[in-house]
Structure 1
């Protein structure tokens, strides 16, 4: 029994058990452990602990006390030793903090592009590049490298070193913030991953993919910048020294995926932990049986509402990507009016689809190149997607306010539908203002930040209709079984 207890507390089995090493352990006179509420209690013959029953030390299926039947959501007995890992809140807080850093780097990246600072650093040095030039000689050396770029030769040939420093620091700050995200993610991840019984295997895999995506983002960022440094821009008629809109959209899209992954995973961990400890699901009144969510999610109307919420999240993402094409082509500087474009809702056909953008002799790339490379078409597409997003978010909000859906949806879902509607109105106002005022940096940066905020509210809406995780269900059932007195 002592050896089994020693293993259950997660220590090396070869180390002799000493009660002085566990001052919180008390020896009683009878026989078996049980759960009641949130603490171990002493039943006849038990080693008991004042620690929470949800301490990660007890979440392993590899080491346990003698099996004890518990009750899951379907009333089937579950051995204590088979309880899955329930990830604790510190992991959620770390992920939410990491997502906030990604939010910040998206906004800083937008300002970097708007101030045309992104091509000021002509090399990618992931380690040594963390330090800016520290002497006048080093500044002159960096400035000489920039003078060799197409951007300096065609646009910025009149700037001096003081002007260069301002754009250099903007790009340098963006890159340093990206490195900070990498360090602040990898170091805690390694700590949590190697600490026993904190992360489940699927969560380790998913977080590992997010870590790889951070590294990929760094490489993709340099790949994007490199497209604006190519010497071929000097000889291409009508070429402008700027990064490829395709690579810019890929870089921004990967950042949105990274943000969404961190934010949603953090919400899931925190929500599961609270629900497993007895809180109500998605803001509903707590049900001791933990079954309040089942009836809601099985309702056909709620299922449709959940599907529409996911579709809205996808639409927000696609609209944001179309905004990257607008930014990459400076398409926001065309047709600075709304809702008209040149006196009508649709621009002239010869501008919308021009043969100028086709590169192949047979014209087979005529359609798709106009869609992605024609500034007029790109702005029109972004307007159409933005208005579709606005109408969809409004329709979802109105649906959530009907008497039937108000009775079916949980409180958090209703509040998030309202938040999404409020945010889509703010985002529309920012977008129109940015257009009318010829893309000023503050408004354009706020518009990009608004796209992340809108995505945040929609992700939270989708999350509010998510079923509790398997680990949370198992632990909620265990608590229910203990409170009901079932063996």
Structure 2
């Protein structure tokens, strides 16, 4: 019976282009061993593999898969690199964070950050439209100390301008949340990221949510009624919280940029778009390149620290004093009695350390020292790196970083001596992000080339 069924299928197989003459003697010799078995087609599947013979699916009989076969199939189709679209998406998100940082700096420079006195993550996205709504928001603002000490007697039109600055800053933050969280869920659900990629996306998402919470926590510090009751208090957000808010933004920017570059690099490697990967891998593992990479890592951390020091200067309005360079008053530094003033210890002799973070003169001096240390460090690394056999991408990033370092120093000095004009100060902050990005890019190009499993 089995033999007859087999012979009946021979014409069908021939119709599909399968040459059975060469295999017929072997199969006929095996027929006796198969007689009595209930699954003839399954037994013959090893000899006539349907993928080799191109037998249509309707002629094949399914075989129950064992656990090992299922695991092997899963491993075969497991993603080893994230999809390229994920890399482009994260780099776009990084560019949005860059824009949010710049607009946030403008909001701080125009003293607009305390104009919205309520935290409404959903309903707050709507801008007032009628005069009655604007009047209600204005009346709320009048209840808080900034109106009584900073924007004394401003008109409704003036209030609309500062309100829009803060409203727009919050709404581009909301938009960024949508642009990040919705595609992130889609990419993970569709399996376009690896397990490691999903973990990174989740971590960056938590950082995004923390950034939003820190933003409101920062604003709340400037709405405290104590700022109106104390005659010497200036209504502004806590410079500690401002620095924390900005540091989270820098971390988010750096994480998105590094992740996006890594995804695109892995895809270029997997698709053979990197010429001579073995030679490049060997070059990046040379001791002199490894040592240079470690120094760039330290320099990148120094750049980030200097940026955060600038946030302390902005939070204390420390750029409005000692508007000379390179001197500070009559000397290179202010008098020690001013830098280490007991006033900032608040009556506690053991708290003199507060001068380092709350004394505007000391904070500005610290920022100057950090800025010049960063500049000379990057200059030394540029001088050393230009003589190393760096890859082309690394060499371009090195020159870009050094050029931005010069520009950052020039912008910082002009901002200081011109008493912090908004345009200069904003450009100074924007260039600090670009300088950090160039250092991160250089560091990324010097990372060891990954090995993509096939």
Task: Determine the structure 2 residue equivalent to 1:283.
Answer: none
Give, in angstroms, the shift of residue 65 of structure 1: 7.8
Pair 1:208-2:195 in alignment = no
Task: Determine the structure 1 residue equivalent to 2:426.
Answer: 445
Give, in angstroms, the shift of residue 364 of structure 1: 1.1
The answer to whether the Cα contact below 8 Å between 1:99 and 1:262 also exists between their aligned partners in 2 is yes
Task: Determine the structure 2 residue equivalent to 1:170.
Answer: 165
Q: Map 1:179-194; keep pairs closer than 5 Å.
A: 179-194=174-189
Task: Determine the structure 2 residue equivalent to 1:247.
Answer: 241
Q: 1:219 to 1:206 in 2, by over 3 A?
A: same
Give, in angstroms, the shift of residue 164 of structure 1: 0.2
Pair 1:384-2:374 in alignment = no
Say which structure, 1 or 2, has more relative contact order (CA 8 Å, 6+ apart): 1
Distance in 2 of aligned mates of 1:64 and 1:313: 43
Task: Determine the structure 1 residue equivalent to 2:334.
Answer: 347
Tell me which of 71, 82, 98 is aligned to 2:93.
98
Q: Map 1:373-452; keep pairs closer than 5 Å.
A: 373-402=358-387, 405=388, 407=389, 409-452=390-433
Distance in 2 of aligned mates of 1:65 and 1:370: 63
Larger strand percent: 1
Q: Which runs of 5+ in 1 are unaligned?
A: 1-26, 31-42, 49-60, 68-79, 281-285, 476-487
Task: Determine the structure 2 residue equivalent to 1:23.
Answer: none
Pair 1:298-2:285 in alignment = yes
Q: 1:228 to 1:29 in 2, by over 3 A?
A: farther
Distance in 2 of aligned mates of 1:231 and 1:276: 59
Give, in angstroms, the shift of residue 83 of structure 1: 5.7
Give, in angstroms, the shift of residue 467 of structure 1: 2.2
Distance in 1 of aligned mates of 2:315 and 2:287: 43
Distance in 2 of aligned mates of 1:154 and 1:47: 85
Give, in angstroms, the shift of residue 132 of structure 1: 1.1
The Cα offsets for residues 79-134 of structure 1, whole Å up to 9 and x where unpaired, read as x7276421121111110010000000000000000000000000010000000111
Asked which structure has the greater CA Rg, the reply is 2
The answer to whether the Cα contact below 8 Å between 1:109 and 1:174 also exists between their aligned partners in 2 is yes
Q: 1:152 to 1:44 in 2, by over 3 A?
A: same
Task: Determine the structure 2 residue equivalent to 1:8.
Answer: none
TM-score with structure 1 setting the length? 0.78
The Cα offsets for residues 352-374 of structure 1, whole Å up to 9 and x where unpaired, read as 1111100253x11102x101000
Q: Map 1:271-286; keep pairs closer than 5 Å.
A: 271-280=265-274, 286=275
Give, in angstroms, the shift of residue 279 of structure 1: 2.1
Q: 1:414 to 1:47 in 2, by over 3 A?
A: farther
**CA-atom RMSD in angstroms:** 2.2
Equivalent position SS for 1:365: helix
Task: Determine the structure 1 residue equivalent to 2:350.
Answer: 364
Task: Determine the structure 1 residue equivalent to 2:301.
Answer: 314
Tell me which of 314, 317, 341 is aligned to 1:330.
317
Q: 1:365 to 1:46 in 2, by over 3 A?
A: farther
Task: Determine the structure 2 residue equivalent to 1:72.
Answer: none
Distance in 2 of aligned mates of 1:232 and 1:469: 55
Distance in 2 of aligned mates of 1:120 and 1:169: 9
Give, in angstroms, the shift of residue 343 of structure 1: 2.5
Q: 1:315 to 1:399 in 2, by over 3 A?
A: same
The Cα offsets for residues 145-201 of structure 1, whole Å up to 9 and x where unpaired, read as 1001111011212101000000000000000000011000001001101003x1111
The total of aligned residue pairs comes to 398
Give, in angstroms, the shift of residue 294 of structure 1: 3.0
Q: Which runs of 5+ in 2 are unaligned?
A: 1-15, 20-50, 57-67
The answer to whether the Cα contact below 8 Å between 2:96 and 2:176 also exists between their aligned partners in 1 is yes
Pair 1:199-2:178 in alignment = no
Give, in angstroms, the shift of residue 252 of structure 1: 0.2
Distance in 1 of aligned mates of 2:399 and 2:211: 33
The answer to whether the Cα contact below 8 Å between 1:88 and 1:273 also exists between their aligned partners in 2 is yes
The Cα offsets for residues 29-80 of structure 1, whole Å up to 9 and x where unpaired, read as 69xxxxxxxxxxxx954699xxxxxxxxxxxx9978879xxxxxxxxxxxx7
Q: 1:375 to 1:272 in 2, by over 3 A?
A: same
Pair 1:159-2:154 in alignment = yes
Tell me which of 215, 228, 232 is aligned to 2:222.
228
TM-score with structure 2 setting the length? 0.84
